[in-house]
Structure 1
Amino acid sequence: MTSSAETAHPTATTDGIRDQARSALREQALSALRELVGRSDADFHEGQFEAIEALVGGRRRALVVQRTGWGKSAVYFVATSLLRRQGAGPTVLVSPLLALMRDQIAAAERAGVRAVAINSTNAHEWSDVLAQLDRDEVDVLLVSPERLNNPSFREQQLPALVRRIGMLVVDEAHCISDWGHDFRPDYRRLRDLIAQMPPGVPVLATTATANSRVVADVAEQLGSLTQDSPSSEPVLTIRGPLARTSLRLGVLRLRDSASRLAWLLSHLDDLPGSGIIYTLTVSAAVDTARLLRDHGHDVRAYTGQTDAEEREESEGMLKRNEVKALVATSALGMGFDKPDLGFVVHLGAPSSPVAYYQQVGRAGRASDSADVLLLPGVEDRDIWHYFATASMPDRERAERVIGALGDAPISTPALEAMVDIRRTPLELLLKVLDVDGAVQKVQGGWIATGEPWTYDAARYERIAAERVAEQQHMLDYEQTDGCRMEFLQRALDDDTAAPCGRCDNCAGVWFPQEIATRAGAQAAESLDRVGVPIEPRRAWPTGADRLDVPVRGRIAAEQQADEGRALARLTDLGWGGTLRQMFAAGAPDAAVTSQVLDACIRVLARWEWAERPVAVVAMPSRSHPLLVDSLARGLAEVGRLPYLGALSPVGGGPSGQAGGNSVFRLAGLWDRLCADHLEVSSGPVLLVDDLVDSRWTMTVAARELRRAGATAVLPFALALRG
């Protein structure tokens, strides 16, 4: 029979051994951290070692929600270093953006961690990367979530990688959740990857922007895959305060786009250091950068349409303070790392406080002070609505896609010719259906899985309602008279929120509000800029013959339109506002105003065409017949050109909606327009329309006019969509 002291002894011994092991692990981790940051006095922030201990000592799953600059990358690089010393395989780091990958690789090199990437820009290096993996010379492999569903990668490289994986890291994990501000369908595939991993492989998910709903959703997805193991531990969530004491927040409400640009012209040089100017659209970024450059400011535009090489070059220039600012869309966001970024200015507000917090978090990461200023616009809500509706799947479209697919692979271009959906929304819909298990990407294209699929209407209604609520929260942020940092913290469900003492509401307005007279004139002149090229179609869409349109390949030179002009894009800061009102749903059809006509005349005056038009022809318009006819007559009168009238609709005229999938749009136009009744003289013809979207209407109309005798067709429209 043993005494009570004897029965207690094994527990005490076990606790002592555990404490010794924890102390040894902390010593090893601290050494790795100091090597990473290059400082012998570095120590862990609260929560960092706890995460490392869970991953390395407990081989657990952890979700870390911490503010930008807290050191989330230090957690996974230190954990990787320690796991590799224990004989574990490489860490797979799922990272959403190329800019983020570049920064992560650079940080890994500083820590002595060997990191390589497989992404869309380095296909020429993939064989070398795979050879390094085979030789166990890689500590961290960075992949994009999209790469996980690449058939070649999924079937040839992923199985071997899964067998050897030492740790999985999901960076920017809010993208997993469709409640998050930047949901990406490809992130949902991580559930399948985790399910394939051997038992005991640690998983780390990190983000700086997640409210309680997103945290619960991500933790549930990470943890639900371990429920079949009764010994598995719940997901460890480490969540810290999100206050950014270095940021000085402010909101300046100005009456219009011209005033906002004039403020930038007046005060950009007053902002500290170098920074980022965010816009909501590509055209706004490009136009703003051009205006600032034209008046002596060293800035560059940075959007999703900017070449990858130019984006990388611009990132480097900003980090080296070789430019005052990058004028960027949200393409410059997650993970961009410039610790001393001095300011962030928004021309127009993001659609939620969570998204706003993520973007302003780029500033002041390693400095005592950084300025953050929001210049909201009256057009913000229209832009929010457009992007919100564009990203939501549609039941009828989804069922159409599933119905078109079978067992034989169909490429995306071929599928586009079978369903009336444009390429970009079709690709997004395919990703959603792939994640839902209804379709699958294989070598050669897409197939239907045969699995039953139902449209989760209740879920999408909840998401839509949540997005509307978030938009209202952003408007509340703009108008609050309370602390702005506290507002953002509460929006992310941070229960440590308290007044910051620095923002414009806590400490008083810190930014100048006056606008230089000259700057106002310069901004107004820039916004009054007119003329946007309309690029002509040069080739018929693949698959047109499937819909009985007898064309393929290149459009014959003698049937093509020339490059055209539009007054402006609908998304432009200047004339875009006027045009958006003209083409808004429910707006009445009316004759063109003298102001708009004068602007169109300026476009024609600056148009350096090879040969002056000899006549004007109008498009038959279903929605704006009075507008188009008055515009065509007005241009003909000013140019002293004969107005020949409008093309005649045939068989009821063009069918289908404007824009749309190329094949279906072309089919709805084919043989539906006639120019035989027009007395077309030999020479160029100015072809006038209201709104250009897919450009197929102009293409088919130009073909008819060329066949009727025109030697060239010069398309002109009030607005260009996009």
Structure 2
Amino acid sequence: MSPTVALTDRAAAREAAEAHLRALVGPRGEGQAEARLREDQWSAIEALAVDRRRALVVQRTGWGKSAVYFVATLLLRGAGAGPTVIVSPLLALMRNQIAAAERAGIRAVTINSTNAEDWEPIHEQIAAGEVDVLLVSPERLNNPGFRDEVLPRLAATCGLLVVDEAHCISDWGHDFRPDYRRIRTLLDDLPDGIPVLATTATANARVTDDVAQQLGSIERGDVLTLRGTLDRESLRLGVVHLKTPDQRLAWLADHLAEQPGSGIVYCLTVAATQEVADYLRSRGHDVAAYSGQTETTERQALEADLAAGRVKALVATSALGMGFDASLGFVVNLGSPSSPVAYYQQVGRAGRGLDARSESATVVLLPAPEDRDIWAYFSSLGFPREEQVRETLSVLAEEGRPLSTAALETRVELSRTRLETMLKVLDVDGAVRRVKGGWESTGRPWSYDAERYERVRAAREREQQAMLDYLRTDRCRMWFLRDQLDDPEATECGRCDNCGGLDLPTEVSAEAVTSAQERLARPGVPLPPRKMWPTGLDRLGIDLRGRVSEQAREGRAVARLTDLGYGQALRELFREGTPDGPVPVPLVQAVIEVLGDWRPEVDAIVEMESVSRPELVGSLADGLSRYLRVPLLGRWAVLDPDVPPGRGAANSAQRVAAVSRRSGLDAEPGALEGRRVLLVDDLVDTGWSTTLAARAVLRAGASSVSPLVLAVRA
């Protein structure tokens, strides 16, 4: 470990800090031996290691925030302090941080959900003083065992607490995470004199103030806030407006190879990453799809390939964001993020490590009309309504014992993800507590802060409008983003398309457009059957558990609502306010094409009855009966119209219960015996209606069931 330094001697402390910086930078190029801390970096290190204060650093990507906390760690450890605890949001970020720490001789370890078998040895290493840096995910902070047994020891012995990506603490931030709110409890438990550092590259003034207030009292001078310029001198920003999805795909096919180095093509949905990556590969580009659904080992391999330049691009969702550290030559967004702040973070993946005097990275935005539909969908997943929160609290209070999230799902009409997020917020607010076995009520009074939630919702709407303004502005684009982040030094950059520093082509080749049209005009996505019944159905009086034994075959849909091709037509068809009517001719042709590619063996049709779109579903079933020359022999009919059509859609157990009460098979006895049935519907959301209908048809004697629908929700 580093030699002991008298940190009261500021000159000696800075000299030691400079030496640590050179070790951290390592032999990565000429001139690194002359590496020096900038004054703003030293100010942060001095506040932490010498004055033992709390600091909030809001600085652009590539400024050197990790150097601050690693150098401060080495100084504090040399003065006899305990290990640094870094709360870090992503495993990818932890991997990069550990690699950087090892370059400087820092002994770094991590505790996360993937290495539970290492926890006990790590605890022993910490107790023996053999660990300099411990990285933990925010989710660990509220794991009952970690919170009650490990966290108190860490709080008592740590020498420095670092909160990375600190904008996640604030529900005003673009990437709010409830688990980060638990950090406030950790701050309250720290002994006096333990320094704290919070860092982020993407925080406007409101988020900065919110995070600083959570760190301590600004009025008393507890928190040093260092906010620097957010200009990215190596970035050249531009927007290309193209009218149709095929033109936007064609632009990528024609111009991806022109972009410098390797980079990222961001998409708004998982489905789009697959669709775009497949198309670009067909046009000869070396790309791969990447999302939160990509398996962990594959994600690590893809990140390594991108960083090493072994692929031209990863076609990714925002899952490839915080924590990815590489020098990329470009970022292209196929579709707009919902806020300038989120966009600034994504484009910040490009241009890192480049010398702005001789090198530059290109940032291109290809907006689409359907972006707003996708924003609206994600906005609908906000904090639940008060009655849903109260219902959850009542269930826990009445039960009087811990309930797992799966058990709560059967009692509250919320999806697993939204329920889990809500419970985390309630935990931070003190209304519930996570314990071994699930969640329990604390009995403390709790108020629904409707005013705050409304302010957050309104702020999100303003951010969306600002993103639309970015697309249309004739002012400097970097100035616009910096102004949205409340950067007081925001000025014209001279590098973007509006400043005249970037000339982006808008033409696309006829060949690429034709190829894209063929790709987008190819309807048909698989509709896999549900294979397992949701847990807890017995508590709802339904005797179904385990594997779905009477199961449909893999079906087909024309497209997902989020798809680039037929998605637009289907979104219009299912948009609220669109009148009911027969299937539009282009979609009829798409259904026929799907059948031609799929060729299911059928000799009967069963219609899924619809109350909201009876003509649409009826015309689809009748038309298929005539086209395939097979009879329409039954309906999955509405038997209890008092159960609303969407009841229970938020989670699986509730949905199965609602559909079981609402619908049943209407067919003549024996009519389906031995038949191969085509089960026809308009829109699949959760898939449970199809699952229950297929089960009923099979129990009525059918030999097989193949679902065919117009659209899948996602």
User: Which category of TM-score, normalised to the shorter sequence, fits these structures?
Assistant: over 0.9
Residue aligning to 1:152? 145
Residue aligning to 2:395? 404
Q: Secondary structure at the match of 2:538?
A: helix
Residue aligning to 1:14? none
* Aligned residue type for 1:358: Q
1:661 pairs with 2:654: no
Match of 1:350 among 323, 328, 337: 337
Tell me: CA distance 1:656–1:638, structure 2 relative to 1, closer, same or farther (3 Å). Answer: closer
Contact 2:494 / 2:501 at 8 angstroms: preserved in 1?
A: no
Q: Secondary structure at the match of 1:336?
A: coil
In terms of mean alpha carbon deviation, does 575-584 or 633-642 score higher?
633-642
* CA distance in structure 1 between the aligned counterparts of 2:644 and 2:458, rounded to whole angstroms: 34
Residue aligning to 2:616? 627
Match of 1:383 among 374, 383, 387: 374
* CA distance in structure 2 between the aligned counterparts of 1:204 and 1:390, rounded to whole angstroms: 31
Residue aligning to 1:249? 237
In terms of mean alpha carbon deviation, does 144-153 or 649-658 score higher?
649-658
Contact 1:675 / 1:704 at 8 angstroms: preserved in 2?
A: no
Question: 1:147-199 CA distances to partner (integer Å, 9 max, x unpaired)?
Answer: 10011111221121111111100001111111111111111110000101111
* Aligned residue type for 2:377: Y
CA shift for structure 1 position 84: 0.5
* CA distance in structure 2 between the aligned counterparts of 1:289 and 1:563, rounded to whole angstroms: 24
Q: Secondary structure at the match of 1:405?
A: helix
5+ residue gaps, structure 2, are: 1-5, 27-31
* CA distance in structure 2 between the aligned counterparts of 1:652 and 1:219, rounded to whole angstroms: 53
Q: Secondary structure at the match of 1:689?
A: strand
1:327 pairs with 2:315: yes
Residue aligning to 1:599? 590
CA shift for structure 1 position 136: 1.5
1:24 pairs with 2:12: yes
* CA distance in structure 1 between the aligned counterparts of 2:287 and 2:500, rounded to whole angstroms: 30
Q: 1:417-432 counterparts in 2 under 5 A?
A: 417-432=410-425
* CA distance in structure 1 between the aligned counterparts of 2:121 and 2:280, rounded to whole angstroms: 43
CA shift for structure 1 position 670: 1.7
CA shift for structure 1 position 655: 4.2
* CA distance in structure 1 between the aligned counterparts of 2:185 and 2:599, rounded to whole angstroms: 56
Contact 2:331 / 2:364 at 8 angstroms: preserved in 1?
A: yes
* CA distance in structure 1 between the aligned counterparts of 2:643 and 2:619, rounded to whole angstroms: 21
CA shift for structure 1 position 314: 0.5
Q: Give % identity.
A: 58
Match of 1:561 among 552, 556, 579: 552
* CA distance in structure 2 between the aligned counterparts of 1:467 and 1:128, rounded to whole angstroms: 44
Residue aligning to 1:185? 178
Q: Secondary structure at the match of 2:365?
A: strand
Match of 1:365 among 352, 366, 381: 352
In terms of mean alpha carbon deviation, does 651-660 or 586-595 score higher?
651-660
Question: 1:321-344 CA distances to partner (integer Å, 9 max, x unpaired)?
Answer: 000001111101112110x21000
CA shift for structure 1 position 124: 2.9
* CA distance in structure 2 between the aligned counterparts of 1:396 and 1:286, rounded to whole angstroms: 38
* CA distance in structure 1 between the aligned counterparts of 2:531 and 2:159, rounded to whole angstroms: 51
Match of 1:234 among 212, 222, 237: 222
Q: Secondary structure at the match of 1:404?
A: helix
Equivalenced residue count is: 695
RMSD: 1.7
Q: Secondary structure at the match of 1:554?
A: coil
* CA distance in structure 1 between the aligned counterparts of 2:110 and 2:630, rounded to whole angstroms: 60
* CA distance in structure 2 between the aligned counterparts of 1:494 and 1:118, rounded to whole angstroms: 36
Residue aligning to 2:194? 201
Contact 1:567 / 1:719 at 8 angstroms: preserved in 2?
A: yes
* CA distance in structure 2 between the aligned counterparts of 1:670 and 1:259, rounded to whole angstroms: 45
Contact 1:655 / 1:669 at 8 angstroms: preserved in 2?
A: no
Q: Secondary structure at the match of 1:272?
A: coil
Q: Secondary structure at the match of 2:33?
A: coil
Contact 1:618 / 1:632 at 8 angstroms: preserved in 2?
A: yes
Question: 1:533-558 CA distances to partner (integer Å, 9 max, x unpaired)?
Answer: 222122322221222223223333xx
Residue aligning to 2:712? 720
Residue aligning to 2:292? 304
CA shift for structure 1 position 253: 0.8
1:572 pairs with 2:563: yes
* CA distance in structure 1 between the aligned counterparts of 2:591 and 2:117, rounded to whole angstroms: 48
* Aligned residue type for 2:223: V
Question: 1:625-662 CA distances to partner (integer Å, 9 max, x unpaired)?
Answer: 11111111112222121122523332337545163322
1:699 pairs with 2:688: no
Residue aligning to 1:275? 263
CA shift for structure 1 position 451: 1.0
Contact 1:210 / 1:354 at 8 angstroms: preserved in 2?
A: yes
1:651 pairs with 2:644: no
Q: Secondary structure at the match of 2:709?
A: strand
CA shift for structure 1 position 680: 1.8
Q: Secondary structure at the match of 2:172?
A: coil
* CA distance in structure 1 between the aligned counterparts of 2:76 and 2:384, rounded to whole angstroms: 41
1:687 pairs with 2:674: no
* Aligned residue type for 1:575: Y
In terms of mean alpha carbon deviation, does 244-253 or 388-397 score higher?
388-397
Contact 1:45 / 1:70 at 8 angstroms: preserved in 2?
A: no
Q: 1:361-510 counterparts in 2 under 5 A?
A: 361-367=348-354, 368-406=359-397, 407-507=400-500, 509-510=502-503
Residue aligning to 2:38? 45
* Aligned residue type for 2:353: A
* CA distance in structure 2 between the aligned counterparts of 1:137 and 1:55, rounded to whole angstroms: 22
* CA distance in structure 2 between the aligned counterparts of 1:494 and 1:409, rounded to whole angstroms: 47
Residue aligning to 1:639? 628
Contact 1:114 / 1:139 at 8 angstroms: preserved in 2?
A: yes
* Aligned residue type for 1:319: A
CA shift for structure 1 position 19: 11
Question: 1:334-383 CA distances to partner (integer Å, 9 max, x unpaired)?
Answer: 12110x21000000111111111111111111113100011111011111
* CA distance in structure 2 between the aligned counterparts of 1:665 and 1:704, rounded to whole angstroms: 16
Contact 2:77 / 2:83 at 8 angstroms: preserved in 1?
A: yes
TM-score, structure 2 normalization: 0.95
CA shift for structure 1 position 509: 4.7
* Aligned residue type for 2:680: V
Q: Secondary structure at the match of 1:506?
A: coil
Q: Secondary structure at the match of 1:505?
A: coil
CA shift for structure 1 position 400: 1.1
Contact 2:605 / 2:678 at 8 angstroms: preserved in 1?
A: yes
CA shift for structure 1 position 560: 2.1
Match of 1:675 among 642, 662, 666: 666
CA shift for structure 1 position 393: 2.9
Q: Secondary structure at the match of 1:675?
A: strand
* CA distance in structure 2 between the aligned counterparts of 1:648 and 1:280, rounded to whole angstroms: 36
1:92 pairs with 2:85: yes
* CA distance in structure 2 between the aligned counterparts of 1:435 and 1:636, rounded to whole angstroms: 56
Residue aligning to 1:173? 166
Contact 2:634 / 2:665 at 8 angstroms: preserved in 1?
A: no
* CA distance in structure 2 between the aligned counterparts of 1:184 and 1:140, rounded to whole angstroms: 23
Question: 1:58-100 CA distances to partner (integer Å, 9 max, x unpaired)?
Answer: 0000000111001000000000011011111111101111111
Q: Secondary structure at the match of 2:182?
A: helix
Contact 2:606 / 2:680 at 8 angstroms: preserved in 1?
A: yes
Q: Secondary structure at the match of 1:390?
A: coil
